[in-house]
């Protein structure tokens, strides 16, 4: 067999191999960054580990940005930011609220978190905490919404957000469904809050303003995201 | 806090995390296997139609993404600061 490759050709082959390797490394780096980003969003929403989660998610975004500069193909940043917001919001409602629904409501950390929150913005978490059969918040309306959302609404939304970020068609479809579900939940929640106004807003330190700043702004998510989810190119999710 | 209290907190929080992960795991088995509105590849003409439809609502999407970024930063900052501030201000109970 005769080697017909000229020195120039073999140099080009070596160069293209080096480029391919560099690209593969960049792609692996992007995937690592994405894992950090998703984990950071979820940890950030636990509230108790919030500072750690924020650091992890910022690190994940920086790694993804660096990988993109090195030539890695990543999903559009708009989708990353929307998926990240959904993850943090859902994680707060799932993990932090889950601390009230499950036995952690009897722990010093769980009790301090929720009674402090009650004193801050929602008095229902301050009065009669851990005095009813299910423990945690004693307000019946709040407990009912919590059971529905922690056991069904939020885990569906969390899994859907993961699928959405992984560009799966079921992810986009379930994100849409879970956001309409979230919208219905928001209406039930606000009705509960309004009908118990003196207890919930009147008795807390920051009342209505604190509630809007801390809780209700993220709950506006459906109003902001549903138009996007209904008009985005569905063929991007495969 | 004495040792008994620390142990009490540990198992309660541990059980809570296990319970929540079990709920999440159950849904993670169900959801990816259900595609409510069908799961078929888009034909070239459907892709064109999707592009056209999406372009018509470019303004709505830009607005959504901008507000989303504000909310996202808001939540991350809140998540990072709320608990340290709450515990510092109101103390442990």
Q: What is the pLDDT of residues A76-117, one digit of tens each?
A: 999 999 999 999 999 989 998 999 999 999 999 899 999 999
Q: Indicate whether A143 pLDDT > 90.
A: yes
Q: Is A133 helix (H, G, I), strand (E, B) or coil?
A: coil
For the residues A153-173, what does the mean pLDDT come to? Answer: 95
Lowest mean pLDDT among A36-45, B14-23, B76-85: B76-85
Asked whether the beta carbons of residue A44 and residue B80 sit closer than 8 angstroms, the reply is yes
Round the CA-based radius of gyration of chain A to a whole number and report it: 23
Indicate the domain borders of chain B. Answer: 1-38, 40-93
Please compute, for residue A110, the number of CA atoms within 13 A of its CA located in the half-sphere on the CB side: 30
B20-A145-B92 Cα angle (round to 5): 65
Provide the shortest C-alpha distance from residue B45 to chain A (in Å): 11
Asked whether the beta carbons of residue A224 and residue B54 sit closer than 8 angstroms, the reply is no
For the residues A114-135, what does the mean pLDDT come to? Answer: 92
Alpha carbon distance B73, A42 (integer Å): 14
Q: Is B36 helix (H, G, I), strand (E, B) or coil?
A: coil
Using CB atoms within 10 A of its CB, is residue A20 exposed (0-12), middle (13-18) or buried (19+)?
exposed
Provide the shortest C-alpha distance from residue B85 to chain A (in Å): 10
**Quick one: which of A174, A180, A222 has its CA closest to B37?**
A174
Alpha carbon distance A161, A178 (integer Å): 9
B62-B68-B70 Cα angle (round to 5): 110
Across the A:B interface, residue pairs with CB atoms under 8 Å apart total 188
Name, in order, each residue with C-beta under 8 angstroms of A99's C-beta and a sequence gap of 6 or more.
A48, A105, A109, A110, A113, A114, B13, B16
Asked whether the beta carbons of residue A227 and residue B76 sit closer than 8 angstroms, the reply is no
**Looking at per-residue confidence, does A230 or A3 come out higher?**
A230
Asked whether the beta carbons of residue B50 and residue A228 sit closer than 8 angstroms, the reply is no
B15-B18-B20 Cα angle (round to 5): 105
Asked whether the beta carbons of residue A155 and residue B26 sit closer than 8 angstroms, the reply is yes
Residue A82 near chain B (CB below 8 Å)? yes
Please compute, for residue B71, the number of CA atoms within 13 A of its CA located in the half-sphere on the CB side: 28
Round the CA-based radius of gyration of chain B to a whole number and report it: 23
Q: What is the pLDDT of residue B2?
A: 81
Taking contacts as CB-CB distances below 8 angstroms, the residues of chain A near B83 are: 47-48, 50, 113
Q: What is the pLDDT of residue A3?
A: 53
Q: At what angle do helices B44-56 and B58-90 cross, to 10 degrees?
A: 70
Q: Is A169 helix (H, G, I), strand (E, B) or coil?
A: helix
Residue A94 near chain B (CB below 8 Å)? yes
Alpha carbon distance A68, A75 (integer Å): 10
For chain A, positions 96-155, list CB contacts with chain B under 8 A.
98-99, 102-104, 106-113, 115-117, 119-120, 150-152, 155
Asked whether the beta carbons of residue B86 and residue A231 sit closer than 8 angstroms, the reply is no
For chain A, positions 12-71, list CB contacts with chain B under 8 A.
44-48, 50-51, 53-54, 57
The structure's pTM equals 0.89
Taking contacts as CB-CB distances below 8 angstroms, the residues of chain B near A103 are: 12, 15-16
**Quick one: which of B12, B56, B38 has its CA closest to A172?**
B38
Q: What is the pLDDT of residue B23?
A: 97
Q: Could you give the percent of chain A with pLDDT greater than 90?
A: 68
Q: Is B89 helix (H, G, I), strand (E, B) or coil?
A: helix
Length of chain A equals 238
Q: Indicate whether B1 pLDDT > 80.
A: no
Provide the shortest C-alpha distance from residue A195 to chain B (in Å): 26
Provide the shortest C-alpha distance from residue B64 to chain A (in Å): 5
């Amino acid at each position: 067999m005769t080697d017909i490759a000229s020195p120039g050709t073999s140099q080009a082959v070596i160069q293209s191999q080096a480029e391919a390797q560099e690209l593969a490394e960049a792609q692996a780096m992007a995937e690592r960054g994405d894992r950090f980003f998703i984990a950071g969003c979820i940890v950030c929403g636990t509230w108790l580990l919030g500072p750690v989660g924020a650091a992890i998610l910022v690190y994940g975004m920086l790694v993804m940005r660096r990988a993109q500069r090195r030539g890695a193909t990543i999903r559009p940043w708009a989708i990353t930011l929307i998926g990240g917001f959904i993850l943090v919001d859902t994680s707060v409602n799932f993990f932090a609220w889950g601390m009230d629904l499950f036995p952690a409501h009897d722990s010093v950390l769980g009790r301090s978190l929720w009674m402090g929150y009650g004193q801050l913005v929602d008095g229902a978490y301050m009065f009669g905490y851990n005095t009813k059969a299910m423990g945690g918040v004693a307000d019946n309306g709040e407990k009912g919404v919590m059971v529905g959302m922690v056991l069904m609404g939020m885990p569906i939304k969390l899994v859907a957000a993961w699928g959405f970020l992984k560009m799966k068609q079921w992810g986009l479809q379930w994100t849409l469904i879970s956001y309409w579900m979230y919208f219905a939940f928001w209406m039930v929640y606000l009705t509960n809050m309004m009908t118990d106004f003196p207890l919930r807003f009147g008795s807390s330190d920051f009342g209505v303003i604190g509630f809007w700043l801390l809780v209700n702004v993220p709950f506006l998510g459906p109003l902001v995201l549903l138009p996007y989810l209904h008009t985005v190119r569905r063929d991007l999710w495969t | 806090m004495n040792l008994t209290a620390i142990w009490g907190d540990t198992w309660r929080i541990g059980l809570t995390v296990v319970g929540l992960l079990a709920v999440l795991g159950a849904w993670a088995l169900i959801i990816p296997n259900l595609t409510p509105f069908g799961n078929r590849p888009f034909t070239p003409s459907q892709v064109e139609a999707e592009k056209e439809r999406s372009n018509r609502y470019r303004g709505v999407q830009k607005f959504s993404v901008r507000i989303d970024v504000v909310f996202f930063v808001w939540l991350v900052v809140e998540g990072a600061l709320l608990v340290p501030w709450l515990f510092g201000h109101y103390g442990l109970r």
